[in-house]
Amino acid sequence: MDIVYIRELEIETIIGIYDWEREQKQTVSLDLEMGTDIALAASSEDIENTLDYKAVAKRLIEFVKGSEFFLVETMAEKIAQIVLLEFSVPWLKLRLGKPGAVTGSKDVGVIIERTAK
């Protein structure tokens, strides 16, 4: 299986459990690895035959900007479902980080792997 990836996609959103987090947008950062087969795209040079990472990024930006979650875990699960279902991806690995959430730490968050059911 080949992998199409997106690294360090930063999006502003409402995320967190504290009162101040519910009033002020914060940055979340996404790394996404999506399983696919690039052979047909490579031989045809046709965007219709590949997993369009720009379309995936645009969809996730739209979703995350319009969402409000308490936990990064919930956001990660929702993002995974969007990618698996809307883009027919059989497998993905997602890192969802919340930079600056812990004093002294560059980033905290979750890493999940999911497969299509």
β-sheet bridge partners, residue 84: none
Residue type, 58: K
CA dist 99 and 83 (Å) reads 23
Q: Give the Cα separation of 50 and 41 in Å (integer).
A: 5
93 part of the active site: no
Of 58, 65, 93, 98, the catalytic one is 98
3-state helix, strand and coil shares in percent for the chain, rounded to the nearest 5 = 35, 35, 30
Question: Which residues are part of the catalytic machinery?
Answer: 98
